[in-house]
């Protein structure tokens, strides 16, 4: 019995001397999906930046008319805005990685503390057994079987001690690496925030230049006259675009979806207040009456824009006078147009359902109103959206009384 008292502690030490299992470092499926979504959004923003740069280069090369000058300023503001959003998205990604790195560091520090405690306990147990444990196993063994069991226990104990020490050293090195990575991430975040501040300042400067140009136009009667003529021409451009878009694509014409039966039943595309009604209105830029084939809905920039009915996206790009624009075909010749958005979230050919998020509101449209410019057209001709939409724009405010109607102006 005395001999077994020597071997049994060694067997116990061999069993308890294995390193603990790490639980940190596991990535949840939801977090991975969010990371993929954020990366896809960043890539889309960067693609839009490339498109805007190309358009801006073409705008600068054109002969400067009144609307061309404004278009160039709008493109510049849109480009700066997308570049700023790209930096914000990058900052969000770095912050998310920083949070994960901090969690990894905390988990490693906990594991190292546990390892140090376990190693200390192991050393105390080894000290109790003594440095001559191998000789004591030989002396305590009464048979070759007992000796073999004791020898295996000593070898397992040595292996367990070695594994613990290796794991402890690996964790220490990993913690050093994680802390170094955390420092790099914080440096990146400082750089991004500095660039973002500079980009926001550029955007404010661009808006001031635009306001100065508009003030000059308002002072000059000749500029106002040219601007009005160009606005009429712009309506011809959008009509020509819509006629092209209305032609059936490879998948054939869109089947009837019953849009024509939904008069008065459609939800507003964005929660806000009616800022500029449909019809002929006085344009604040040019101080003259101009055709206004849609409505401007005032809302904070960046708010969700939703499609008013089922349909298919037939245009998602920048268009002169409309800025970033989405056009949805609802069948039977009906189209809805969402202009001056800050971000397009759908692509051409995509089928959408009523109420689906398709864009985000912009800083300012044709009337410098943050929110959304919205049109409904039938066979290319603009219709007053008011009678099509339900009586309130949402919780933000009740829609004002009957909107002034101008004739359906067709240049």
DSSP string, 190-236: HHHHHHHHHHHHHHHHHHHHHHHHHHHHHH-HHHHHHHHHHHHHHHH
pLDDT of 312 higher than 90: yes
Phi, psi at residue 80, to the nearest 5°?
A: -65, -40
Confidence of residue 401 (pLDDT cuts 50, 70, 90): very low
Name, in order, each residue with C-beta under 8 angstroms of 36's C-beta and a sequence gap of 6 or more. none
Q: How many CB atoms lie within 10 A of CB 215?
A: 10
pTM of the model: 0.60
Residue, of 182 and 39, whose pLDDT is higher: 182
Helices 221-246 & 144-219 angle (0-180, nearest 10)? 130
Confidence of residue 240 (pLDDT cuts 50, 70, 90): confident
CA-based nearest residue to 185, from 295, 304, 275, 100:
100
Name, in order, each residue with C-beta under 8 angstroms of 186's C-beta and a sequence gap of 6 or more. 98
- Average pLDDT over every residue of 170-186: 83
Q: How many CB atoms lie within 10 A of CB 92?
A: 14
Instruction: Give the pLDDT of residue 407.
Output: 34
Name, in order, each residue with C-beta under 8 angstroms of 240's C-beta and a sequence gap of 6 or more. none
- Average pLDDT over every residue of 268-290: 80
Q: Give the whole-angstrom CA distance, residue 221 versus residue 70.
A: 17
Name, in order, each residue with C-beta under 8 angstroms of 71's C-beta and a sequence gap of 6 or more. 59, 320, 321
pLDDT digits (tens, 9 = 90+) for 76-111: 777 788 788 888 888 888 888 888 888 888 888 888
Confidence of residue 253 (pLDDT cuts 50, 70, 90): low
Q: Give the whole-angstrom CA distance, residue 69 versus residue 223.
A: 12
> What mean pLDDT is reported for the chain?
74
pLDDT of 409 higher than 90: no
- Average pLDDT over every residue of 61-81: 71
pLDDT digits (tens, 9 = 90+) for 203-239: 888 778 777 776 666 666 555 566 666 666 677 788 8
Provide the 8-state DSSP code for 312.
Answer: E
- Average pLDDT over every residue of 282-308: 82
CA-based nearest residue to 129, from 18, 10, 15, 17:
10
In sequence order, what are the beta bridge partners of 273? 298
Sign of CA dihedral 335, 339, 344, 345: negative
Judging by DSSP bridges, how do beta strands 295-298 and 371-378 pair with one another? antiparallel
Name, in order, each residue with C-beta under 8 angstroms of 200's C-beta and a sequence gap of 6 or more. 84
Instruction: Give the pLDDT of residue 19.
Output: 45
């Amino acid at each position: 019995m005395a001999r077994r008292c020597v071997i049994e502690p060694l067997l116990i030490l061999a069993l308890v001397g294995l390193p603990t299992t790490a639980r940190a470092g596991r990535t949840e499926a939801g977090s991975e999906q969010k990371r993929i979504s954020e990366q896809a959004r960043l890539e889309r923003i960067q693609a839009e930046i490339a498109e805007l740069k190309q358009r801006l280069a073409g705008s600068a090369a054109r002969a400067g008319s009144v609307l061309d000058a404004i278009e160039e300023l709008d493109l510049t503001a849109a480009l700066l805005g997308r570049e700023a959003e790209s930096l914000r998205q990058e900052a969000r990604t770095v912050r998310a990685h920083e949070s994960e790195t901090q969690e990894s560091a905390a988990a490693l520090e906990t594991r190292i503390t546990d390892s140090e405690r376990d190693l200390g306990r192991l050393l105390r147990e080894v000290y109790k057994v003594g440095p001559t444990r191998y000789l004591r196993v030989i002396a305590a063994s009464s048979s070759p079987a007992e000796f073999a069991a004791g020898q295996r226990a000593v070898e397992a104990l040595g292996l367990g001690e070695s594994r613990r020490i290796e794991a402890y050293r690996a964790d220490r090195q990993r913690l050093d690496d994680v802390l170094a990575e955390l420092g790099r991430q914080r440096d990146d975040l400082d750089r991004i925030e500095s660039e973002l501040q500079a980009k926001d300042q550029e955007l404010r400067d661009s808006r001031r230049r635009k306001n100065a140009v508009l003030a000059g136009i308002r002072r000059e009667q000749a500029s106002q006259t040219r601007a009005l003529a160009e606005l009429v021409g712009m309506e011809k451009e959008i009509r020509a675009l819509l006629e092209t878009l209305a032609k059936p694509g490879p998948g054939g014409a869109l089947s009837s979806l019953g849009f024509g039966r939904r008069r008065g039943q459609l939800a507003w595309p964005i929660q806000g207040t009616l800022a500029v009604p449909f019809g002929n209105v006085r344009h604040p830029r040019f101080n003259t009456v101009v055709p206004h084939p849609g409505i401007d809905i005032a809302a904070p920039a960046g708010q969700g824009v939703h499609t008013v009915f089922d349909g298919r996206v037939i245009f998602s790009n920048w268009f002169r006078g409309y800025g970033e624009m989405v056009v949805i075909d609802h069948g039977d010749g009906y189209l809805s147009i969402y202009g001056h958005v800050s971000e397009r979230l759908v692509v051409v050919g995509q089928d959408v359902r009523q109420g689906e998020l398709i864009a985000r509101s912009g800083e300012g449209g044709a009337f410098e109103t943050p929110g959304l410019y919205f049109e409904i057209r039938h066979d290319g001709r603009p219709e007053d959206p008011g009678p099509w939409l339900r009586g309130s724009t949402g919780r933000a405010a009740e829609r004002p009384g009957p909107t002034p109607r101008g004739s359906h102006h067709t240049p």
